[in-house]
Amino acid sequence: MNLLLLEDGDFTAADQVRLSGRRLAHMQEIQQVAVGDSLRVGRINGLMGHGEVTALTSSHAELSVQLSTPPPAKLPLTLLLAMPRPKMFRRILQHCATLGVPEIILLNSYRVEKSFWQTPFLQPAVVRENLLLGLEQARDTVLPKVRIEKRFKPFVEDQLPGLINNQLALVAHPGDYPACPRGIDQPLTLAIGPEGGWIPYEVDKLIEAGMQPVQLGERILRVETAVTALLARLY
């Protein structure tokens, strides 16, 4: 935890918060803070700054906070992701929040197993918790948006062209395609397939909607590795 994230409900006054639960345990067990210590804090979806510990008991901590620094910029990106396997999904949410992805659209695909959509990791509270873990890591406060689109064809035909809006749009897919560009400095819609990749029909539909296929070389990456590798190369 490189940043202690504060919920609106933690505030007892404009510059006072009261914490318990996971964050208190982390402060006491990992950070071993004492009264008087100063911690990096940030208000969820708001500013960052410092908090001084003014009280500490086994049940709660009180901090006096000063927030004045804006969070780091997000990537100018919409990530279109075939719904991953649940355990990997959890880690990908964290990675995406850490790397600064502002919006993730979870899409169905032929190779997405139906059971993936049943995972408890898709419950809004669990999604939020994993995004917060990623934000704490990166020192960011702004929660990415996560949207679910379970119907591939209607989404790609009816919504994707408007989303791309004539800006750069890439679909990552192994094959005889141009290499993924580097260090682009522009808004992007990026589509990443499931383990095993998009099926040819899906690649065709994504291209029809305005996406250009690109590849990352002959090594086949796991989805979570591909997400990080693509974002690191593109931005």
Identity of the residue, 46 or 161, whose beta carbon is nearer to a copy of itself in the bound complex: 46
| Helices first, then strands: H and E counts in the chain | 7, 12
Q: Torsion angle of alpha carbons 173, 213, 74, 128, nearest 10°? A: -40
Tokens of 137: 């890591």
For β-strands 168-172 and 188-192, DSSP reports them as parallel
Task: Give me 144's structure tokens.
Answer: 């990415």
Residues 6+ apart with CB under 8 A from 80: 105, 107, 160, 189, 190, 191, 192
What single-letter amino acid sits at 39? L
Q: How many whole angstroms separate alpha carbon 206 and alpha carbon 198?
A: 10
Residue 70 vs 200, nearer CB to a copy of itself: 70
CA-atom Rg of the chain in angstroms: 20
Minimum distance from CB of 6 to a copy of itself (Å)? 18
User: What gap in Å lies between CA 204 and CA 118, rounded to an integer?
Assistant: 28
Closer to a copy of itself by CB, 104 or 164: give it. Answer: 104
Nearer to a copy of itself, 3 or 19 (CB): 3
Q: What is the DSSP string of 94-161?
A: HHHHHHT--EEEEE--TTS-GGGGG-GGGSHHHHHHHHHHHHHHHT---PPEEEEE--HHHIIIIIHH
Interface residues with a copy of itself (CB under 8 A) are 2, 72, 95, 98-100, 137-140, 182-183, 216-222, 225, 228-233
| Shortest Å distance, C-beta 185 to a copy of itself | 12
Cβ 90 to a copy of itself shortest distance, Å = 13
With respect to a copy of itself, which residue has the nearer C-beta, 87 or 151? 87
Closest approach of Cβ 147 to a copy of itself, in Å? 23
CB of 139: closest distance to a copy of itself in angstroms?
6
CB of 22 to a copy of itself, least distance (A): 18
Between residues 63 and 92, which has the closer beta carbon with respect to a copy of itself? 92
Report the residue number, 156 or 168, with the smaller CB distance to a copy of itself: 168
Instruction: Compute the least distance from the CB of residue 12 to a copy of itself, in Å.
Output: 29
